[in-house]
Structure 1
Amino acid sequence: MSRPLPPRAGPVPPPAHREGGVWLRLVPGLFVLLWSTGFIGARLGMPHAEPLTFLALRFALTAAILGPAALLARAPWPRHGREILHLAVAGLLMHGVYLGGVFVAIRLGLEAGLSALIVSLQPLLVAASAPVLLGERVGPSTWAGLGLGLCGVALVLARKLGLSASDAWGALACLAALAGITVGTLYQKRFCSGHDLRSGNFVQFAASAVACWLLALLFETRQIAWTGELVFALLWLVLVLSLGAITLLYLLLRRGAASRVASLFFLVPPTTALIAWPLFGERLGILELLGMVLTVAGVALVNLGRRL
C-alpha cells in the first residue's frame, strides 16, 4: 500500500509582495512626516509671495507634472461629467480651501504651530460626521484615542494658545481650512476613492489652480520675489507635498476608515514642532514632550488591532 503524499505547502509570496506589505505599514508614518513639512514650507514661502498667487503657481506646476505622467502611463481618465465634478469639488476643498486658509493665516502672522493646532481638530469632526455621512462605526476606543490625541496636541502647543487681537483673522482663516480638510476628506472617501490617482489628482490640482488664480486676480497684486528660499519652498511643496503626501493620504483613505486615517493628523502638530525646533529655534519643554507621548498613544489607541 503506497504511503500518502505529504500535503503541499501553500504558495510562498514573492519577496516583492512581502516588501509591499512592509511598505504599506510604513505609509502612515511617512505621510505624517511629509505632511508636517507643509507648515514649514508655508512659513518659508509666504514672505516672498502672496498666498493665493503662491498656491496657484504650486497647483499649476503640480498639474503640469501629473497630466503628462498620466498620459504616458495610459492611466484611465474619468469618463463622465459627474466624475470630473466630484473630483473638482474634492480638490477645491482639500487643496484650495484647506491650503488657502493655512497660507492666508500664516501670511497674516499666525504661527505655523498654532495653525497646525487649529487644523488638528479635524479628526474629531471627521469621527463625528463619519457615522452619518459614510456609515462608519466609531467605537469607544476610537473616541478615547481621539480625546487623548487632542489633549496631547494641546500640551505640545500650550505656550502658543494665547491669541492676540492681530491673530483673529488668521485664526478665522485656519477655521475655514479646518472645514475644508474635514469636508474634503469625507467627500473624497465617499465619491472619489475609485479614480486613478494620477489622472484624478490632475483634475483636482487643475481645478484648484484655476480657482486660486481667479481669486488672486481679484484680491492680490500677484507679485513674486524669486528668492532661493521661495524656489526651495515651491519645489518642496510641489514634489514632496502635492505629489507625495497627497498621494499617500488618498492611499490611506482607500484602505482604512476615514476616522482612523484622520487620527493621523493629531501627529502633525508635534512633528511640526520637532521640525521647527532646529529650524526656527522653537524650544520644547516637559509639557511638549509629554504631549507628544499622549498624542502617539491616542493615535495608537484609535488604530488598535486594525490595519490602515
Structure 2
Amino acid sequence: MDTEFEHLTLGDVEIIKVVEVRGPFGAPGDLFPGIEDAWQEGRDWLAPRFRDADSGAVLAAVQAWVVRSEGRTIVVDPGVGNGRERPGTPHFSGLDTDFPERLARAGVRPEDVDLVVNTHVHGDHVGWNTRAEGDGWVPTFPNATYLVPRADHDFFGPGGAAETPHDHHRLLFSDSVAPVVEAGQAVLWDGGSHRIDGRLTLEPAPGHTPGSSVLRLASGTDRAVFVGDLLHSPAQFLAPTCSSAMCVDPAESAASRQRVLERACDERELVIPAHFPGPGAAEIRRAGAGFAVHRWRL
C-alpha cells in the first residue's frame, strides 16, 4: 500500500488521502484520560499499527483528504503547514515538509482546488489554508472557497473565549484563518447543516471545539462520514465515552461521538477519522458498550 497517498472511490466520489506527518504523538493516558482499559482490551490489534509496541506511545498521522465530487476538487482539513509557531504543540512548530509537492503528485495543484473544508479550527486542520509570502500569510489555494464553522471562528478569533488561556490559539488564527477571511475567500457557516453539493453535507458535531463538524458523503449506495477529531485513535471505538485531552467540552464531544458512530452503524457509513495512521477508514458495528471494526478501508 502506498504510504504517501491512497485512493478510494465511493459511488461517483473519489477520495485521496495525502499524509503530511506521521509518528508518535504521546502517551495514551495523557492524550485520552481514562482510556487505559480500552488499550488493554485492544492490545492485540492496536499495536503496532496504532500504538508503538516498545514505548507505548499513540501513533497518529496528520493528513488531508482530497475529495472530487460533481466536477470540483475539495481539500478537507489541510494539516499543520510549514513555518508555524505553535507553543502549545511544539511537535507542530517549525515544520518544513513537502506537503504541497505531495498534493501535486496526487494530481492537485493549488489553483485547481475549488473548496477547502475545515472540520474545526485547530492548528493541524487549518495550517495549509495559507502559505508564507513576504512577511505575512496568503491563501494557499487562490481560487478556493474556505468553509469554516462560525462557532469556531468566533471562539478562536480576537476576543473569543479561547484567546485568553491559550496564546497559541491566537497564533493559529492569525496565520491560518484570518488571512482567508481577509481575502474574502471564507464562508462562515452555522445552523443545522451546510450542503456542499448533492453528495456532500457538513453537519455540527460539537465538543472537541464549539464548531466541530462532520462531513457526510452519500453517493449511490455508498455512505461515509469524515469525523475530524471526534476520534484520534481506534481505541475510542472500544471506549466512545473517552474524549481526548484536547476537547473543549469532553462530555459534549462524547455525546457527539456516540451519536455519529451509532448512525454510522445504522446507515453503514464508512468512518473516516483525521488522524488514524495506516488504515485510515473503518466499517464499524456495535459491540457491547462500544463499537468494533468490521473491516478496514483506505
What TM-score comes out, normalization by structure 2 length? Answer: 0.26
Larger radius of gyration: 1
Name the structure where strand makes up a greater proportion of residues. Answer: 2
More helix by share: 1
Q: Which of structures 1 and 2 has the larger relative contact order (alpha carbons within 8 angstroms, sep 6+)?
A: 1
